[in-house]
Amino acid sequence: MSRTPFPTDLTDHQWRRMKPWVPTDAATGRPSKYSKREIVNAILYVTRNGCTWRGLPHDFPPYRIVFHWFRKWQADGTWERLHTKLRERVREKAGRSAKPTAAVLDSQTIKTTEQGGPRGYDAGKKSARPQAARGR
């Protein structure tokens, strides 16, 4: 990395943990001009800051390349696999089994009156009769 790091950039430790699950380039063909780490850092920048792909700072690879890899990894399940592996690692580190053994479903019910029924909706339309402010 030959640029000033952004707060969203992966640390060396985080990248070492993540790298095994990030797909590498194909064995044949032209080698990639940009590292997968820089592409992941650019994707993290977009997701954290909510900017458009075109709004990526010029310190990152071109937005078209970053977006290409984002969509490719989305389509082939890379993001889901990565999330699963990292979640399993966090669970194991906390002393729990890698896969959850139970789930909790929470819901809420509220009572309504028995007289309840559909209510009208006028979308804020003005009525035919004038509405005057009343003084008290």
At 99, which helix (H) or strand (E)?
Answer: none
Q: What is the pLDDT of residue 133?
A: 59
Amino acid 37: pLDDT: 95
Distance CA 118, CA 112 (A): 12
Residue 59's pLDDT is 92
Give the residue carrying structure tokens 């997968």.
Answer: 36
Rounded CA separation 54/68 (Å): 13
* Residues 66 and 42: beta-carbon distance below 8 Å: yes
pLDDT at 27: 75
What amino acid is encoded at 44 in this protein?
A: L
DSSP 94: T
Would you write out the chain's pLDDT as a tens digit for each of its 136 residues?
578 899 999 999 999 999 998 988 777 888 889 999 999 999 999 999 999 999 999 999 999 999 999 999 999 999 999 999 989 999 999 999 988 888 888 888 877 777 766 666 666 666 666 665 555 5
Q: What is the pLDDT of residue 120?
A: 67
> 52, 66 in Cβ contact below 8 A?
no
Q: How far apart are CA 80 and CA 70, in angstroms?
A: 12
**% helix, strand, coil for the chain, step of 5:** 40, 0, 60
- Using only C-alpha atoms, the chain has a radius of gyration, in whole angstroms, of 26
Predicted local confidence at residue 76, as pLDDT: 94
User: Can you give the pLDDT at residue 118?
Assistant: 67
- pTM for the full predicted model: 0.69
